[in-house]
Amino acid sequence: MAATSTNFTHPFLDLDGDKLREECGIFGAINAADAAAATALGLHALQHRGQEAVGITSFDGSEFYSSRGLGHVAENFSSAESIAVLPGHMAAGHVRYSTTGGSGLRNVQPLYADLATGGFAVAHNGNISNAMTLRADLVRKGSIFQSTSDTEVIIHLVATSRYPTLADRLIDALRLVEGAYALIVMTPEGMIACRDPLGIRPLVMGRMGDAVVFASETVAFDVIGAEFVREVEPGEMVHVDFSGEVQSVRPFGHVSPRPCIFEHVYFSRPDSLFAGQSVYEVRKAIGTQLAMEAPCDVDLVVPVPDSGVPAAIGFAQQSGIPFELGIIRSHYVGRTFIQPSDSARHSGVKRKHNANRGLVAGKRIVLIDDSIVRGTTSLKIVEMMREAGASEVHFRVASPPTAHSCFYGVDTPERSKLLAARMELDAMRDFIKADSLAFISIDGLYRAVGAAKRNAACPQFCDACFSGEYPTSLTDLAMAEPKAAELPFADPKAA
């Protein structure tokens, strides 16, 4: 690479890991006058998908350039100088969370390598569930890895493929890969965008004048003034060259897609479109369905901000119970620092959320949240409402119980730490100290996203975190041995 800059600003760390976290967002632009600037803006709109690190790689027709750093987009790419080191009409970028063993600048994407066919940069959203197995085989054959990211496995598979063209080498590599991926690849010939055959992770295509752009979510196009064209289809590989020609190939055949249903529940920004639907409207529909399935005799519907707001609106509209902001979220608090004591952890929640005492005192309230993971945050919020004087505190959840870990690019705790994997409903209610607790049913969730019900024989979405039915093989998990924790990718959630 011709240039590299780094920023060692350390990010805030999550207090409990008590939310499912999408591990990254990707953006790419080709034939754009200010490709790196557009990429930085697009990544800013995708910041919710990853807040620990950011990187951008550009190509000026002869050389690749890269800049990356820990922290937010604004901390690394807010000045003209930070963009000036990334010249060219093609750029791709990545925002990420890390998981166990995954933090550090060497894992910040896009990853870059000089291959026999020329420069190769890749930004990846998802998780390769056989990465440890592939990596071990590649190392035995002489490959030398520079990161602990599963994404680097793709680079080595491309480098060692015997096919003549880079596009065919990429297809050859991806045939060996299990799991989930949305990729933006840059080469001296142009840009390639592709999704895994099941389309588990999202990827969309747009246009901005003569430029073609790709992103994890449509909201990134709104920010840069691009027009949303369509989704990159599951199993599709889109090639764009510097003349503007766009070609589509489907090298993996046609299978029934299984996009991640949690994009509707939580991951995507509410102002995005996902699977052809408004995320905001779907979340309201989830709240409506939840109110029909689990009504509650209370005075107020109170969302847990911010992710519970659309579902709470739908719940309130369906039930006829007033919607009120009984919890106020501070927008000037970053992700909470790790704290050494239980009392400090509790104050961390209060720095993010505070009870609207004058509103909730003496009232029966129902709290609406998108999910319960470990349950610790739910407990603290219920306790906060009681301390503020609420006479009853009920809890409704806009997703089914999260009882299984995700191995497709979402940071979830190990299953033993998921509340729904350890407890039945009544025990969960007692744990969070609510007067009642209910979750939307999995069929109700499917109805809210427009399906009559869940097709048990072939589900329309990936819902493994609820059902435990994983749509692909989990080779690394199956092959794990007692000493596997010492090896790269022993945690299948690493991305």
Q: How far apart, in whole angstroms, are the C-alpha atoms of residue 335 and residue 348?
A: 9
Specify which residues 274 forms β-bridges with: 277
- Among 464, 448, 461, smallest CA distance to 401 is for 464
- Among 263, 187, 193, 192, smallest CA distance to 232 is for 193
351: tokens are: 């720095």
474: left (phi over 0), alpha (psi -120 to 50) or beta: beta
Q: How far apart, in whole angstroms, are the C-alpha atoms of residue 457 and residue 281?
A: 27
Which residues, 6+ apart, have CB-to-CB distance to 22 below 8 Å? 48, 49, 50, 97, 267, 409, 410, 411
- Under 8 Å between Cβ of 322 and 388: no
How many other C-beta atoms lie within 10 A of the C-beta of residue 147?
A: 18
CB < 8 Å & 24+ apart, contacts of 138-147: 145/488, 146/106, 147/106, 147/107, 147/111
Q: How far apart, in whole angstroms, are the C-alpha atoms of residue 231 and residue 195?
A: 10
Known catalytic residues are 24
- Under 8 Å between Cβ of 232 and 194: yes
Torsion 185-278-373-196 (CA) sign: negative
